Amino acid sequence: MSLSSLALRWSARRAPLIARATTLCARYNSTYTPQTAALADIDPSRLKVTKRTDLKPQPDLEGLAFGRVFTDHMLTIPWTAESGWDAPQITPYGPLHLEPSSTVLHYAQTLFEGMKAYKNAEGKVTLFRPDMNMKRMITSASRIALPTFNGDALLDLIKQLIRLDAHWIPERPGYSLYIRPTLIGTQRAIGVGPPDEALLFVILSPVGPYYKTGFKPVALHATTEYSRAAPGGTGAFKLGANYAPGVVPQREAAVHGYSQNLWLHGPEHYLTEVGTMNMFVAIRNAQGVAELITPPLDGMILPGVTRDSVLSIAREHASGAHKISGLPDQLIVSERPVTMPEVKQALKDGALLELFGAGTAAIISPVDRVGYLGDDLIIPTGPDGLGPLSKPILAEIQGRQRGEIPSSWSVAV
Amino acid sequence: MSLSSLALRWSARRAPLIARATTLCARYNSTYTPQTAALADIDPSRLKVTKRTDLKPQPDLEGLAFGRVFTDHMLTIPWTAESGWDAPQITPYGPLHLEPSSTVLHYAQTLFEGMKAYKNAEGKVTLFRPDMNMKRMITSASRIALPTFNGDALLDLIKQLIRLDAHWIPERPGYSLYIRPTLIGTQRAIGVGPPDEALLFVILSPVGPYYKTGFKPVALHATTEYSRAAPGGTGAFKLGANYAPGVVPQREAAVHGYSQNLWLHGPEHYLTEVGTMNMFVAIRNAQGVAELITPPLDGMILPGVTRDSVLSIAREHASGAHKISGLPDQLIVSERPVTMPEVKQALKDGALLELFGAGTAAIISPVDRVGYLGDDLIIPTGPDGLGPLSKPILAEIQGRQRGEIPSSWSVAV
């Protein structure tokens, strides 16, 4: 059976899944309407700010590890089923007092977002596509019966928090302020159900570049023993529940010399995600045209902001709307299922161009090796570690993030 | 195709799954060896007790809702990767102080157990098969890279906590003290990985009978849109991550008039669990012999203590080792896959005897209706709500729990 007919057969089999996922997502997205007239929404005008007087020392940027150091302040917004969202508060960063019966501690009623603020040479602070994070956070909340909210209102408050702690944003290129909005169920009773109390909080952490010295491609273990997500599960939502189960598989991959899991699905070994990133593969087709492929949003794939950015930039280039220097003139951009047998065949045919992960932390994470069923597949990478498609796309994303390339994706704080 | 040949075909298809799950479970169970000489295990001799002076008022037993009221004290045992388990503490019940960066709040690094203490007419306090809970808690910890421990040591401490708060155990029949051991990752850094800090805590809650006035069978929605667990996932472990995702499906079932989800798996519609309980179905075979069926431990099914108790009692009866009054003399006890088509066919043939859930909270939860693909299947139940097999089995379990039927399952506190 030829690869293209295989792909067609796979697509046909996945079509109902994708249709169902689309319906579900639409349902979740439509659930945000200010809940009832009686329940208060998040209201930035009610913000109370308690500033810290003893500011913390700034960390040494050289030894900065991801997510270990937090800024002086945090944002908290409590919610109750009775009255909705209470007044937002910015207070000194410090411990939360949670009852031991809080449902987040028992039933994983938690979801989060990851986003970054950048400071350019002129000191201007920007966010990258924050509307995408707000929208996804609301979708995640709907999936586990946590309260939804007005995303613009939360974004307004996040900007106020960033402005207060703006001196924490490193000005050095490649550095940024990582923003972690989190929503937890805090009901004080251990019945399993929609919680009657919740807490939204936002903390900030200065972070360095993912790759300190150039790009270092990673080795992946194509994982068949564990799965990250399944139809009818929660893989498409940024829930805490998707993360704890991945730690042991990652540790097992590390024991065998691989840095991350390449999560597969089903007996067909569909590629789904890489570690905690979305996944792209580029293959030259029989006509010699490059195809950039990422798995479709079939309910098992997280709708990543970087994933969407890569797709958008590639499509703008392919359509001619916004040509990217360095990309091949002809480019096919596909959201379609792709399997390990297809990747293996492409590698054998010399048609595999590259394979990479895409996420907020690393932006692009090139892959140079995949351990699959006992074999090591050596994946081509460019001389500096980046492949022929990911390199110009990364440059475009970084340019838009830093505001060097004007775009609507960069939002002033 | 006949039902028995269908069952054979299903079994063949599931065999590799079950073998893999067995291997994985063995691996997790073998991970407990006191970690290294340098790391301290849980040590009851280091217990520090701080008693509360202002004891709380006792709740009104009539209006007691599940898991809303907690006793005067709690047990906490902190752990660090550097030095292992620290000194256990019994302190007044009160809030935990958790950094907002604690990994449990972001990545669902949490697992728990549910067990009950009973007080008989003479005031003697007993636990029911607590060794099973300790063993499962350690297995759960291994699955998400939380620290393991000596189960006997934790059980010793739980007994001390119960003895201190023994006046909270209702003496009324059907009432008990619900015990909730919980283990959370408390690392103060948001990198995803095995946490370098953790906290084990145990809280106690007096609870009433699940059914206040006789047995009330429930209606289930056979759920095809959502799944509870999948191969390579975490369905076989008592992790918080398995619970938050079930709340919205339960709410959707309730909207359609069903009280719980009947979780199905795969296009074959295998029955897996009921709400947060294991599932049993009883079918009379062609020879007129009753078969008690529950899905096998294939990696997607929680190894429930009540599930094991039902199976053990039924097998002791079937083998003649311990005959149970009221059960049919001949009984087949099967851990095997069972599908909705098989249940539907048995119902049509008049061969379906009963369907019930089994768990710590309700013990046995009979089912009288299953909504499946738009049809309502009416499931037979006995005159008092309980079916012909579950009724004598429940009586035996309750007898052993209350110590009226002597058994090694009842353990003195």
Residues A146 and A234 in one domain: no
Mean pLDDT, residues A73-98 taken together: 98
In a domain, B233, yes or no: yes
CB contact under 8 A, A190 and B205: yes
Q: Is any Cβ of chain B less than 8 angstroms from the Cβ of A110?
A: yes
Least confident of A12-16, A352-356, B275-279: A12-16
CA dist., res. A105 & res. B95, Å (int):
12
DSSP state at residue A406: -
Confidence of residue A13 (pLDDT cuts 50, 70, 90): low
Give the closest-approach CA distance of B246 to chain A in angstroms. Answer: 8
DSSP state at residue A40: B
In a domain, B158, yes or no: yes
Residues A183 and A109 in one domain: yes
Task: Look at residue B26 and tell me whether its pLDDT is greater than 60.
Answer: no
Least confident of B144-153, B205-214, B276-285, B306-315: B205-214
Pairwise pLDDT comparison (B17 vs A323), residue with the higher score: A323
Q: Is any Cβ of chain A less than 8 angstroms from the Cβ of B183?
A: no
Chain B hits for A20, Cβ within 8 Å: 225
Report the length, in residues, of chain B: 413
Task: Look at residue B110 and tell me whether its pLDDT is greater than 90.
Answer: yes
Task: Look at residue A30 and tell me whether its pLDDT is greater than 80.
Answer: no
Give the closest-approach CA distance of B108 to chain A in angstroms. Answer: 5
Tell me what pLDDT residue A174 has. Answer: 85
CATH of the domain at B375: 3.20.10.10
Residues B81 and B165 in one domain: yes
* Number of domains chain A contains: 2
Q: Is any Cβ of chain B less than 8 angstroms from the Cβ of A48?
A: no
State both tokens at A95: 């411990």
State both tokens at A363: 């932006």
CA dist., res. A65 & res. B188, Å (int):
13
Which of B70, B74, B112, B247 to mutate to test binding with chain A, by most A CBs within 10 Å of its CB?
Answer: B247
CA dist., res. B92 & res. B74, Å (int):
6
Determine the 3-state secondary structure of A21 from DSSP: helix
In the block, tokens 């990752």 appear at B185
Tell me what pLDDT residue B332 has. Answer: 98
Task: Look at residue A6 and tell me whether its pLDDT is greater than 80.
Answer: no
Determine the 3-state secondary structure of A336 from DSSP: coil
Least confident of A279-293, A331-345, B54-68, B388-402: B54-68
Determine the 3-state secondary structure of A8 from DSSP: helix
Chain B hits for A194, Cβ within 8 Å: 247, 251
Mean pLDDT, residues B88-110 taken together: 98
Pairwise pLDDT comparison (A16 vs A359), residue with the higher score: A359
Tell me what pLDDT residue B213 has. Answer: 64
Give the closest-approach CA distance of B265 to chain A in angstroms. Answer: 10
Confidence of residue B12 (pLDDT cuts 50, 70, 90): low
Nearest CB neighbour to A70, from listed B95, B101, B250: B101
Q: Is any Cβ of chain A less than 8 angstroms from the Cβ of B329?
A: no
State both tokens at B4: 């028995």
pLDDT mean across residues, chain B: 92
Nearest CB neighbour to A247, from listed B106, B184, B193: B193
Mean pLDDT, residues A109-116 taken together: 98
Mean pLDDT, residues B350-357 taken together: 98
Q: Is any Cβ of chain A less than 8 angstroms from the Cβ of B248?
A: yes
Tell me what pLDDT residue B172 has. Answer: 87
Tell me what pLDDT residue B22 has. Answer: 54
Residues B241 and B158 in one domain: no
Tell me what pLDDT residue A386 has. Answer: 94
CA dist., res. B70 & res. B88, Å (int):
19
Determine the 3-state secondary structure of A45 from DSSP: helix
CB contact under 8 A, B245 and A233: yes
pLDDT mean across residues, chain A: 92
Task: Look at residue A97 and tell me whether its pLDDT is greater than 60.
Answer: yes
For residue A206, count CB atoms less than 10 angstroms from its CB and return exposed for 0-12, middle for 13-18, buried for 19 or more.
buried
Residues A221 and A162 in one domain: no
Q: Is any Cβ of chain B less than 8 angstroms from the Cβ of A250?
A: yes
Query: What DSSP element (H or E) covers A20?
Result: helix A3-30
Which residues are A202's β-sheet partners?
A75, A181
Query: What DSSP element (H or E) covers B282?
Result: strand B277-284
Residues B95 and B118 in one domain: yes
Share of chain A above pLDDT 70, in %: 90
Least confident of A281-290, B159-168, B203-212, B287-296: B203-212
Chain B hits for A66, Cβ within 8 Å: 189-191
Confidence of residue B216 (pLDDT cuts 50, 70, 90): confident
CB contact under 8 A, B227 and A233: yes
Mean pLDDT, residues A176-189 taken together: 97
Tell me if A284 sits within 8 A of A351, measured CB to CB: yes
Determine the 3-state secondary structure of B207 from DSSP: strand
Determine the 3-state secondary structure of B62 from DSSP: coil
Tell me if B225 sits within 8 A of B263, measured CB to CB: no
Say which amino acid occupies A152. D
Sign of the four-CA dihedral B59, B64, B65, B71: positive
Alpha helices in B265-357 (DSSP H): 305-319, 340-348
Parallel/antiparallel/unpaired status of strands B96-98 and A260-265: unpaired
Maximal CA-CA distance, chain B: 70
Residues B121 and B227 in one domain: no
Task: Look at residue A111 and tell me whether its pLDDT is greater than 60.
Answer: yes
Mean pLDDT, residues A331-344 taken together: 98
Tell me what pLDDT residue A37 has. Answer: 55
Mean pLDDT, residues A159-176 taken together: 94
Residues B202 and B233 in one domain: no
Tell me if A141 sits within 8 A of A111, measured CB to CB: yes
Q: Is any Cβ of chain A less than 8 angstroms from the Cβ of B260?
A: no
CB contact under 8 A, A247 and B101: no
Chain B residue with minimum CA distance to A92:
B100
Half-sphere exposure of A204 (CA within 13 A, CB side): 30
In a domain, A143, yes or no: yes
Give per-residue pLDDT as tens, B223-245.
999 999 999 999 999 999 999 99
pTM of the model: 0.93
Q: How far is CA A234 from the centre of its chain?
A: 14
Task: Look at residue B30 and tell me whether its pLDDT is greater than 50.
Answer: no
Q: Is any Cβ of chain B less than 8 angstroms from the Cβ of A245?
A: yes
CATH of the domain at A164: 3.30.470.10
CB contact under 8 A, A243 and B106: yes
CB contact under 8 A, B68 and A191: yes
Mean pLDDT, residues A319-329 taken together: 97
Residues B179 and B295 in one domain: no
Select from A166, A182, A207 the last residue of a domain.
A207
In a domain, A23, yes or no: no
CB contact under 8 A, B97 and A96: yes
In a domain, A369, yes or no: yes
Residues B188 and B223 in one domain: no
Residues B227 and B192 in one domain: no
Query: What DSSP element (H or E) covers A12?
Result: helix A3-30
Task: Look at residue B3 and tell me whether its pLDDT is greater than 70.
Answer: no
Share of chain B above pLDDT 70, in %: 90
* CA-wise closest residue to A295 among A264, A324, A249: A264
Give per-residue pLDDT as tens, B127-158.
999 999 999 999 999 999 999 999 999 999 99
For residue A165, count CB atoms less than 10 angstroms from its CB and return exposed for 0-12, middle for 13-18, buried for 19 or more.
buried
Tell me what pLDDT residue B273 has. Answer: 98
Chain B residue with minimum CA distance to A233:
B227
* CA-wise closest residue to B360 among B228, B180, B159, B239: B180
Confidence of residue A361 (pLDDT cuts 50, 70, 90): confident
Give per-residue pLDDT as tens, B114-129.
999 999 888 899 999 9
Say which amino acid occupies A235. G
In the block, tokens 């919980």 appear at B182
In this structure, what are the phi and psi dihedrals at residue B202, rounded to the nearest 5 degrees? -130, 125
Nearest CB neighbour to B239, from listed A104, A234, A244: A244
Residues A118 and A151 in one domain: yes
In this structure, what are the phi and psi dihedrals at residue A271, rounded to the nearest 5 degrees? -75, 135
Tell me if A409 sits within 8 A of A128, measured CB to CB: yes
Confidence of residue A22 (pLDDT cuts 50, 70, 90): low
CA dist., res. A324 & res. A309, Å (int):
13
Nearest CB neighbour to B201, from listed A100, A144, A234: A100
Task: Look at residue A372 and tell me whether its pLDDT is greater than 70.
Answer: yes
Give the closest-approach CA distance of B68 to chain A in angstroms. Answer: 5
Determine the 3-state secondary structure of A356 from DSSP: strand
Tell me what pLDDT residue B361 has. Answer: 87
CB contact under 8 A, B110 and A106: yes
Give the closest-approach CA distance of A176 to chain B in angstroms. Answer: 16
Give the closest-approach CA distance of B191 to chain A in angstroms. Answer: 6
Give the closest-approach CA distance of A286 to chain B in angstroms. Answer: 35
CA dist., res. B300 & res. B294, Å (int):
13
Give the closest-approach CA distance of A46 to chain B in angstroms. Answer: 22
A268-287 exposure pattern, b = at least 16 Cβ within 10 A, e = fewer: bbbbbbbbbbbbbbbbbeee
Report the length, in residues, of chain A: 413
CB contact under 8 A, B192 and A112: no
Give the closest-approach CA distance of A288 to chain B in angstroms. Answer: 38
Select from B179, B207, B235 the last residue of a domain.
B207
Select from A207, A237, A257 the last residue of a domain.
A207
Confidence of residue B1 (pLDDT cuts 50, 70, 90): very low
Tell me if B236 sits within 8 A of B300, measured CB to CB: yes
Tell me what pLDDT residue B173 has. Answer: 84
In a domain, A128, yes or no: yes
Mean pLDDT, residues A263-286 taken together: 97
In a domain, A20, yes or no: no
Q: How open is the CA angle A204-B192-B231, to the nearest 5 degrees?
A: 135
Give the closest-approach CA distance of B99 to chain A in angstroms. Answer: 4
Tell me what pLDDT residue B11 has. Answer: 47
Tell me if B392 sits within 8 A of B402, measured CB to CB: no
Task: Look at residue A25 and tell me whether its pLDDT is greater than 60.
Answer: no
In a domain, B3, yes or no: no
Pairwise pLDDT comparison (A3 vs A283), residue with the higher score: A283
Which of A66, A97, A103, A106 to mutate to test binding with chain B, by most B CBs within 10 Å of its CB?
Answer: A106
CB contact under 8 A, A247 and B191: no
Q: Is any Cβ of chain B less than 8 angstroms from the Cβ of A192?
A: yes
Q: Is any Cβ of chain B less than 8 angstroms from the Cβ of A364?
A: no
* CA-wise closest residue to B271 among B286, B282, B256, B259: B282
Which residues are A332's β-sheet partners?
A291
Give the closest-approach CA distance of B324 to chain A in angstroms. Answer: 34
CB contact under 8 A, B240 and A108: yes
Q: Count residue pairs from A and B with Cβ separation < 8 A.
A: 209
Domain that holds residue A331: 215-403
Say which amino acid occupies A390. S
CA dist., res. A18 & res. A26, Å (int):
12
Which of B66, B161, B190, B225 to mutate to test binding with chain A, by most A CBs within 10 Å of its CB?
Answer: B190
Give per-residue pLDDT as tens, B359-389.
998 899 999 999 999 999 999 998 889 999 9
